[in-house]
Amino acid sequence: MHPQRIRTVLAVSAGFCVFATLAFAQAPAAAPFTSHQLKPNVYWIEGGGGNSGVIVGDKGVIIVDAKTTPAGGKELLDNVAKITPKPVTTVILTHSDGDHVNGLASFPAGITIIAHENNKKEQEAALASGGRGAPPADHLPTQVIAKNKTSLKIDGVKVELYHWAPAHTSGDLVVYFPSEKIVFTGDIIAAQLPDPLIHLEKHGSSEGWIATAKGIVALNAEQYIPGHGNVQSKEDIRKRLSGAEEKRAKIKDLVAQGKSLDDIRTAVGDAPPAAGRGGRGPAFPTFTEVVYRELTNKTGA
Ligand SMILES: [Zn+2]
């Protein structure tokens, strides 16, 4: 796909993750929801967009990420109701992409919605520009996080929220439950993709991704729930980190030698950007293209 076309599609699909849009393009039927128990009080639920976390507190439930659509949000709540009769009181958002946020439309009014301040700004911008993928206006974040580390106790549950640097987006939050040694990474880790997925249009950063992945690895955790795909170990994250560091260093060398994006793609064995079926779906720039753009300020066109 021509880069200009890629940028146009990116703009049109702002607020939607590649996974959601590819899912729409390829398979209108949503993936089935499946609940997985990690600890007596902690679950993750796959299906309907990004992975969600469910943490059962003393009196209520904390959710991490809220699925793609109002129907998906409702199905998530139905699945939570099978786990516990306690009400959902708090949602923590890992980033602003629609496949993690827009299911909030089906959540009760008056709940606490925690997000990084840049996540809220991105949602407000998406609302202002309107169109498909805009978040529900009546469920914007109620509590914004601006610090690199925030420790909270919510309904008897200890939570630490981290934002080391812009990575997948400029509004990422890594959600760590220290007592359970569990981390929800959001799309900083998308397990089915070989390389980091970085949204330059939301001011994500490959350098920031590396700093963030180092922070994630350093947490005293045993289970990492990615934004998409299956549970990862610390070693899985470490491998992704070293792979990305090596690839970025190699691209940097080649850029310094004045190589073109096409030459660099060939040299690092870059996969063609993922596109929707029949070329109708959107494609996001590969990690190689993101790093090239960052280092050259060029689009590679
Ligand atoms: Zn995302």
Q: How far is the CA of 58 from the centre of ligand 1 (A)?
A: 30
How many angstroms is it from 168 CA to the middle of ligand 1?
Answer: 7
d(CA 263, ligand 1 centre) in Å: 28
d(CA 34, CA 279): 30
Length of the chain: 301
**Residue-level pLDDT at 272:** 67
Indicate the domain borders of the chain.
3-242
With a pLDDT cut of 70, the percent of the chain lying above it is 85
pLDDT of 151 over the 80 cut = yes
CA of 160 to the centre of ligand 1 (A): 21
Q: Across the strands, what pairs with 55? A: 42, 62
Distance CA(113)–CA(209), nearest Å, equals: 24
Q: Measured in angstroms, how far is the CA atom of residue 32 from the centroid of ligand 1? A: 20
pLDDT digits (tens, 9 = 90+) for 173-216: 999 999 999 999 999 999 989 999 999 999 999 999 999 999 99
| CB-based neighbours (< 5 A) of ligand 1, an ion | 17, 97, 187
Return the CATH superfamily for domain 3-242: Ribonuclease Z/Hydroxyacylglutathione hydrolase-like (3.60.15.10)
Burial profile 56-82: b = 16 or more Cβ within 10 angstroms, e = fewer: bbeebbbbbbbbbbeebbbbbbebbee
Contact assessment for residue 291 and residue 268, using Cβ atoms and an 8 Å cutoff: no
pTM, to two decimals: 0.88
The amino acid that residue 121 corresponds to is K
In the reported structure, the alpha carbon of residue 187 is separated from the centroid of ligand 1 by a whole-number distance in angstroms of 5
One-letter amino acid at 227 equals G
Q: Write the DSSP symbol of residue 269.
A: T
Ligand 1 center to 20 CA (angstroms) = 9
* Beta pairing class for 223-228 and 182-190: parallel
What's the chain's average pLDDT?
89
